[in-house]
C-alpha cells in the first residue's frame, strides 16, 4: 500500500507540473456539462411570430345577435409565442422572408364576420393565414407544431365561449329570465314557469279542454328535463375528450435537479475516465510499467492507485461543481452524505472503466481519444428518454448504456440530489457490479500491457 501512496503523489506532481493539461482535463468536462445542463434545463425558446390583426377594432363574436364575451385569442397566442406586431401582411411577409420571425399569423378583416356566420343559415369558413419560411425541415416542423397547437387552443376557447352562451340561452328557455337585445330587455317566461302556470289554470278549464292542456304541460316538463341534459352536452362538444393524466412510474425530479445531475455526471465521467485512462497509459508511454511491476508495486496495486486518483480528483471537482450550483438552485445540503456516496461509488466504477480503456492503448493521446469516443456517445445515449426512439432501438440503447457506468452514475447522483426521487440503492448496486467487472477486465488487459 506504501507504493500506491507514492505513485499517487507522483501522479499529483505530474498533474501539478502540467497546469494547462490539468485545467483542460477539468475545465473542458465542466464546460460540456454546464452547456448540456443549460440546454436540458431550458425549454425551447418562444418562437418569434409576426402578428397581423386586420380585424376592425371592437368587432365582437356574437351568437344569434348577442355578443360573446371576449375570448382573448390574441393574448392567449402571444403568451405562448413572442408576438411581433406588424401593420399589414406585406410587412409580415418581409419579416418572414428575412428570417426576423419564424412565421407570421394573419387574422383577416372578415374573420369575426365569418365566425359570426357560423350560427346563421349560410355559415362561412373562418380562416387565418400563416406565412412560413420553410428553409429547413426542423424550422418547418417547429412552426407546424407550435401554430397548429396554438390554433387548436384558440378554436377550443372560441368553442367554449359559444358553448357557454348556447347553454345560457338554453337556461333562459328552461328557467326564464331577461334577454337584452338592441338595447331592450325582453322578459322570457321559461318552460318551468310555463308549466307551473298551465298546471294552475288547468283545474279551472272545462273538462274537455283539460287533456289537451295537460299534454302541453307534460311537454313543457319533458322539454325542461331534456334541455337540462343538453347543456352539459353542449359543454362537452367543445372538448369531447378530457385528459386524465396518471403518472405510472419514473417519478421525475424537478428539471433543474435533473439538469444538475446530468452536468455533474458528465463532469465526473470525463474527469475520471480521462484521468485514469490517461495516467495508466502514461506508465506505458514512459516505459515505467515493467520497471514498476518488477516487484515495486503489483499490477492490482497500480490499478487501485489509478482508480483512487480518479475518485479523489473526480470527487473534488464534482463536489465543488455541486456547491457552486447550489448558489443558483436550491440543493439540499443535508443530503451531502448521499452526494458523497453517489460520487465516490460512481467515480470508482467510472475509474475502473477508464482503467480498462487505459490498458487498451500505448499512448496517452490515443487513450484520451478513445476515452472521448466511448464516453461521449454513451453519455448522450444515456439521456435518450423512452418513447423518443422505437421500442427496439430503445431496448438496444438501454442494454448498451447499462454496460457503461454513466447511466447508473446519473441515476445515483440524481437520487442523491433529490429526496423525493427514486431510491439510490439500485444504481449503487449496478455501479458496484460494473466496478468489479471493469476492474477484472483492466487486470486482464494489464497482462497484455506487460507483454508488449
Partner 1 sequence: MRATDVVKRFGEREALRGVSFEAGPGELVAIIGPNGAGKTTLLSILAGISSPDEGGVEAPDGAVGWVPQQAALYRRLTVEENLLLFARLEEHEDPAAAVGEMLELTGLQERRGEIVARLSGGNQQRINIAIGLLSRPAVLLLDEPSVGLDPRQRARLWEFVSGLAGRGTTVIFSTHDIQEAERYGGRVLVLADGESLFDGSAEELRRAVRGEAPESADRDFETAFVAYLQHRGH
CB of 266 to partner 1, least distance (A): 28
- 173 or 313: CB nearest partner 1: 313
Candidate segments 11-19, 48-56, 124-132, 239-247, binder of partner 1 by CB under 8 A: 11-19
Residue in 426, 396, 432, 393 with CA at minimum distance from that of residue 412 = 426
Number of shown-chain residues binding partner 1 (CB under 8 A): 22
Smallest separation, CB 22 to partner 1 (Å): 11
| Residue (17 or 178) nearer to partner 1, CB | 17
Q: From 366, 337, 324, select the one nearest 428 (Cα to Cα).
A: 337
Q: Which stretch binds partner 1 (CB under 8 A): 2-10, 103-111, 233-241, 303-311?
A: 2-10
Please identify, using beta-carbon distances, which residue of 99 and 290 lies nearer to partner 1. 290
- Give the residue with the Cβ less far from partner 1, 203 or 295: 295
Give min distance, CB of 9 to partner 1, in A.
8
CB of 289 to partner 1, least distance (A): 8
Q: Which is nearer to partner 1, 243 or 452 (CB)?
A: 452
**14 counts as binding partner 1 under rule CB under 8 A:** yes
Residue 208 found at the interface with partner 1 (CB under 8 A): no
Site for partner 1 in 273-302 (CB under 8 A): 286-288, 290-292, 294-297
Closer of 2 and 44 to partner 1 (Cβ): 2
Q: Residue numbers of the site for partner 1 (CB under 8 A)?
A: 2-3, 6-7, 9-10, 13-14, 17-18, 286-288, 290-292, 294-297, 450-451
Amino acid at each position: 500500500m506504501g507504493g500506491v501512496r507514492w505513485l499517487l503523489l507522483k501522479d499529483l506532481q505530474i498533474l501539478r507540473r502540467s497546469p494547462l493539461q490539468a485545467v483542460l482535463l477539468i475545465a473542458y468536462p465542466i464546460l460540456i456539462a454546464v452547456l448540456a445542463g443549460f440546454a436540458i434545463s431550458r425549454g425551447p425558446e418562444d418562437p418569434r411570430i409576426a402578428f397581423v390583426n386586420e380585424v376592425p377594432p371592437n368587432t365582437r363574436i356574437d351568437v344569434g345577435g348577442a355578443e360573446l364575451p371576449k375570448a382573448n385569442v390574441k393574448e392567449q397566442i402571444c403568451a405562448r409565442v413572442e408576438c411581433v406586431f406588424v401593420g399589414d401582411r406585406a410587412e409580415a411577409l418581409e419579416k418572414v422572408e428575412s428570417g426576423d420571425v419564424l412565421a407570421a399569423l394573419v387574422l383577416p378583416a372578415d374573420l369575426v364576420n365569418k365566425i359570426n356566420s357560423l350560427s346563421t343559415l349560410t355559415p362561412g369558413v373562418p380562416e387565418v393565414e400563416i406565412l412560413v419560411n420553410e428553409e429547413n425541415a426542423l424550422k418547418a416542423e417547429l412552426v407546424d407544431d407550435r401554430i397548429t397547437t396554438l390554433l387548436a387552443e384558440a378554436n377550443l376557447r372560441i368553442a367554449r365561449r359559444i358553448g357557454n352562451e348556447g347553454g345560457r340561452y338554453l337556461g333562459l328557455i328552461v328557467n326564464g329570465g331577461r334577454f337584452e337585445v338592441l338595447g331592450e330587455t325582453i322578459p322570457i317566461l321559461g318552460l318551468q314557469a310555463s308549466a307551473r302556470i298551465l298546471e294552475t289554470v288547468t283545474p279551472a278549464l272545462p273538462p274537455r279542454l283539460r287533456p289537451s292542456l295537460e299534454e302541453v304541460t307534460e311537454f313543457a316538463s319533458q322539454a325542461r328535463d331534456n334541455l337540462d341534459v343538453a347543456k352539459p352536452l353542449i359543454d362537452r362538444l367543445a372538448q369531447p375528450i378530457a385528459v386524465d393524466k396518471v403518472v405510472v412510474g419514473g417519478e421525475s425530479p424537478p428539471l433543474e435537479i435533473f439538469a444538475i445531475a446530468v452536468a455533474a455526471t458528465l463532469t465526473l465521467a470525463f474527469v475520471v475516465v480521462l484521468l485514469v485512462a490517461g495516467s495508466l497509459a502514461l506508465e506505458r508511454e514512459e516505459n515505467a510499467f515493467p520497471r514498476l511491476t518488477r516487484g515495486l508495486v503489483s499490477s492490482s496495486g497500480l490499478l487501485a492507485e489509478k482508480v483512487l486518483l480518479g475518485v479523489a480528483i473526480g470527487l473534488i471537482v464534482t463536489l465543488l461543481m455541486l456547491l457552486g450550483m447550489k448558489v443558483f438552485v436550491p440543493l439540499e445540503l443535508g443530503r451531502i452524505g448521499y452526494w458523497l456516496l453517489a460520487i465516490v461509488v460512481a467515480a470508482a466504477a467510472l475509474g475502473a472503466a477508464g482503467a480498462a480503456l487505459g490498458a487498451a492503448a500505448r499512448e496517452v493521446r490515443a487513450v484520451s481519444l478513445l476515452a472521448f469516443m466511448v464516453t461521449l456517445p454513451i453519455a448522450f445515449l444515456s439521456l435518450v428518454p423512452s418513447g423518443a426512439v422505437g421500442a427496439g432501438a430503445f431496448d438496444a440503447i438501454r442494454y448498451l448504456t447499462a454496460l457503461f457506468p454513466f447511466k447508473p452514475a446519473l441515476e445515483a447522483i440524481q437520487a442523491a440530489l433529490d429526496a423525493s426521487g427514486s431510491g439510490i440503492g439500485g444504481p449503487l448496486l449496478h455501479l458496484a457490479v460494473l466496478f468489479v467487472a471493469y476492474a477484472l477486465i483492466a487486470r486482464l488487459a494489464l497482462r497484455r500491457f506487460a507483454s508488449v
